[in-house]
Amino acid sequence: MAIARWDPFAEMMSLREAMDRLFEESFVRPTSFMGWARTAGVPIDVYTDGDNFVIEAAVPGLAPDAVDVSVLGNEVTIRGEYPTVPEGRRYLLRERPSGQFERRVTLPDPVDAEHVQAHYEHGLIRLTVPKAESAKPRRIALTAGR
């Protein structure tokens, strides 16, 4: 067994990550002892691509039908459940999640829920969420004279 030098900065998170986690655990997921969430986390990326928002969520080991995706207003919810840990198993290291998870993303603009596209491949969910027509910029024609 090798001895590793402790790096106090290795486990630090940015202020933004800390605030995101605080907000998410306070309002989205139920919490338990010492503020740790009772539900498993799901890492996500959210970005824009033209007139669409794209949400990517990593759910390794889950089948597509084990995950539920819903859209209400401008909020996208991804929920599901990882298998529970078999009783009697003694772990030396445990990092993979188990139990229920739920991630909610509130997008900054109204979305067109009727045209959301969901794709699942190799444990990665990719949601393409189009902005509503009312949220897209419009060109206004100018008229000369009075």
Residue 70 covered by a domain: yes
Residue 118 lies in a domain: yes
Buried b (16+ CB within 10 A) or exposed e, 111-122: bbeeebeeebee
Three-class SS of residue 15? helix
Q: Is residue 7 part of a domain?
A: no
Count CB neighbours of 98 within 10 A: 14
Tell me if 124 is assigned to some domain: yes
Q: What pLDDT does 1 receive?
A: 56
CATH of the domain at 45: 2.60.40.790
> How confident is the model at residue 139, as a pLDDT?
77
How many structural domains is the chain composed of? 1
Q: Which of 46, 21, 37, 43 is nearest to 100 (CA)?
A: 37
Q: Report which secondary-structure segment, H or E, holds 57.
A: strand 52-58
The answer as to whether 140 is a domain residue is: no
Using only C-alpha atoms, the chain has a radius of gyration, in whole angstroms, of: 20
Q: Is residue 63 part of a domain?
A: yes
In a domain, 67, yes or no: yes
Give me the pLDDT at residue 39, please: 44
Output the tens digit of pLDDT for each of the chain's 146 residues. 566 676 666 666 677 777 777 766 655 444 333 333 444 578 999 999 999 999 999 999 899 999 999 999 899 999 999 988 888 988 888 888 888 999 999 999 899 999 999 999 999 999 999 998 776 677 777 888 77
- 2 domain residue, yes or no: no
What is the extent of the structural domain holding 112? 39-86+97-134
What is the pTM (predicted TM-score) of this model? 0.65
pLDDT of res. 23: 67
